[in-house]
A and B are shown apart, each in its own frame.
Chain A
Amino acid sequence: MNLRRITALLLRYLLLYRQSWTRIMEIFFWPVMDLLVWGFLTSYLLQVGSSQVPALITFLIGSMIFWDLLYRAQQSVTISFLEDVWARNLLNIFVAPVTIGEFLTATFALGIIKVLVNGLVLALLAWALYAFNIFQLGFTLIPFVLSLMLMGWAMGMVTVALIMRWGHAAEALAWGIPFLVQPLSAVFYPVSVLPVWLHPIAWALPSTYVFEGMRQVLATGQAPWRMFWWSLGLNLVYLIASGVFFRHIFGIVRQKGLLAKLGME
């Protein structure tokens, strides 16, 4: 791992944002739209008048923000990679002395930056529009956010590996993969809602612990640290597994000579 190369790769992504307003818009567009829809929906529910509504509002908005963080973390890895594919720049990077680890670390770092900026904007908006103050809860939520990012990176690595191996056909996965885990990781509802036979699968996903944990923090102000440690532990397992999977696929890609063909189908 060479910090200079990682910085140079990161710089390349940041310069892209400096040069392009549409890209900057793209960071904020979906989170803001989500927040508006969910926020106003819950406001509407509040008007209609259900007894559980105040808690529901907080849960939904919290879930929405957290879901978006997970999605952004995965996207930062995959979109960075796709940017290089689309620009026909991938080969330039892989014929330079850049290791896979350095390449991925740069995309992770970009993810952290995007999530920080995004989280801040969403938190401000949620506060301005719905008087939802995420910081009121102290910084108890931050470890959960970090754990969520790790999961986003693991998913991002798997997605990139699939795109390298199957090219355009797999590009749709870049957008879709996070949604594969959404129904099972108790994003908008507790695990108890799921049929019993799905529970083991749900509890095998790090994100489940984060979303359940987040709701507990919101409901009680207390962080369920056991949940956090479980999510962190599982995430480390998933990260290592994704890394191994990535390496394996990269080997196949070199065997089949696919790196130079990417983006040219």
Chain B
Amino acid sequence: MVIEVHDLVKTFNGTTAVDRLSFTAGRGEILGLLGPNGAGKTTAIQMLLGIIEPTAGSIHVFGKNIATHRQDILQRLNFSSAYVSLPQNLRVMDNLRVFAGIYGVANWREKSMELLRLFEIDGLAARKTGQLSSGESTRLHLCKALLNDPELLLLDEPTASLDPDIADKVRKLLRRIQRERGITVLYTSHNMREIEEICDRVIFLHHGRKMAEGPPRDVIAKFNQQSLEQVFIRIVRDGELQSSEQKPAQ
């Protein structure tokens, strides 16, 4: 297993952000983490990255405990999100060069150009990062996230600022990379159609608790709905529904 999370809990002075969450993710799997605002998705991802300390429970990535092997684990994964960006004053290429150095990537120049081409922004290599449009900088950030050939990608709303055409291309790219290299991806998004398209399996979080889990089609069927979007609305509106009734697939 690439990710093994067991009984994970996080409370911030009294409020429970993540509540006894357990799940696993296998090699080459794209796992969607869904749920309304404040459900605990970002908190869970940041605990996986070791930048938030869990209140209870355990996290193993690549079979190693994040509490004791943070460095080793971080070397083999990467992260991208709409809420981080790269230094605006540096050129696109310089930013990739710095992170290539941090991750110890050999031949950073070729690697960077290859990734920029993959995301169709190789024409911007010499530009200052601050001059990129938000969609272009999102794609640059994905290049950064692929620099170290990660075995695991944690993507927290990575497509938030992409136009439909580019978002579609990015999804197909992620799919392709995942197929070719067997990368595991943990993905959050509020776009249910996107999730249905890209994810092998989804986990619904509500108030930090796992409400449902399974391949999108199975989850939709289990809730007697037509789409994930309807499932989402149903789960949020019947928030008080007991998770025990649903017997989430594990």
Which residues of A come within 8 Å of B, CB atoms? 4-5, 7-9, 11-12, 15-16, 19-20, 83-84, 87-89, 91-99, 251, 254-257, 259-260, 264
The one of B53, B70, B87, B91 in contact with A87, judged by C-beta atoms closer than 8 angstroms, is B87
Among B81, B85, B101, contact of A11 (Cβ-Cβ < 8 Å) = B101
Whether A92 pairs with B83 at a CB distance below 8 angstroms is no
The listed residue (B10, B43, B103) touching A96 by CB distance below 8 A is: B103
CB pair B85–A87 under 8 Å, yes or no, is yes
A259 x B53 contact (CB < 8 A): no
> Quick check: A260 and B85 within 8 Å, CB to CB?
no
Q: A88 to B88, alpha carbons, bound, how many Å?
A: 9
| B94 CB within 8 Å of chain A | yes
Give B residues with C-beta under 8 Å from A.
Answer: 10, 12, 42-43, 46, 49-53, 70-72, 74-75, 78-79, 81, 83-91, 94, 97-104, 128, 144
Q: Which of A4, A5, A260, A264 contacts B51 (CB 8 A)?
A: A260
Q: Once the chains bind, are A89 and B85 in contact (CB under 8 Å)?
A: yes
Bound CA–CA A54/B94 (angstroms): 50
Could you give 14 example pairs across A and B, Cβ below 8 Å? Answer: A5-B101, A8-B99, A8-B101, A9-B102, A15-B94, A20-B89, A89-B85, A96-B74, A97-B71, A254-B53, A255-B53, A257-B46, A257-B52, A259-B46
The 8 Å CB contact of B74, one of A20, A84, A95, is A95
- For A98, the chain B residues whose CB sits under 8 A away are 102
Question: Which residue of chain B lies nearest to A2 when distances are taken between CB atoms in the complex?
Answer: B104
* Across-interface contacts of B103 in A (CB, < 8 A): 96-97
Query: Chain B at the A interface: mostly helix, strand, loop or mixed?
Result: mixed
CA distance A9 to B95 in the complex (A): 11
The answer to whether B49 and A95 touch across the interface, beta carbons within 8 angstroms, is yes
A residues near B144, Cβ cutoff 8 Å: 92
CA distance A11 to B79 in the complex (A): 22
Q: How far is the CA of A8 from the CA of B10 in the complex (A)?
A: 34
Q: How far is the CA of A255 from the CA of B10 in the complex (A)?
A: 9
Contacts between chains A and B (CB distance < 8 A), count? 99
Q: Tell me the bound Cα distance from A136 to B83 in angstroms.
A: 54
Give chain B nearest CB distance to A79 CB in angstroms: 13
CB-CB under 8 A from A9, the residues of chain B are 98, 102
Residue of A nearest to B84 (CB): A91
Q: Which residues of B contact A99 (CB under 8 A)?
A: 71
13 new A-B contacts at CB < 8 Å, known A93-B102, A259-B46? A4-B101, A11-B101, A16-B90, A19-B89, A87-B88, A89-B86, A92-B84, A97-B70, A97-B71, A254-B52, A257-B10, A260-B52, A260-B83
Contact of B84 (CB < 8 Å), options: A4, A19, A89, A256: A89
Contact of B87 among A8, A89, A95 (CB under 8 A): A89
Question: Do residues A12 and B49 form an inter-chain contact, with CB atoms below 8 A?
Answer: no
Contact A11 B98 (CB under 8 A): yes
Q: Are A91 and B90 in contact (CB under 8 A)?
A: no
* B91 lies within 8 A of A19 (CB): yes
Measured CA separation A259–B91 after assembly (Å):
25
Within the complex, what minimum Cβ distance (angstroms) separates B19 from chain A?
A: 15
Residue numbers in A under 8 Å from B87 (CB-CB): 12, 16, 83-84, 87, 89
Q: How far is the CA of A254 from the CA of B67 in the complex (A)?
A: 12
A87 and chain B: residue at smallest CB distance: B87
B90 touches A12 (CB 8 A): yes
Minimal Cβ-Cβ distance residue in B for A83: B87
Point out the residues of chain B lying under 8 angstroms from A91, CB to CB. Answer: 51, 79, 81, 83-84
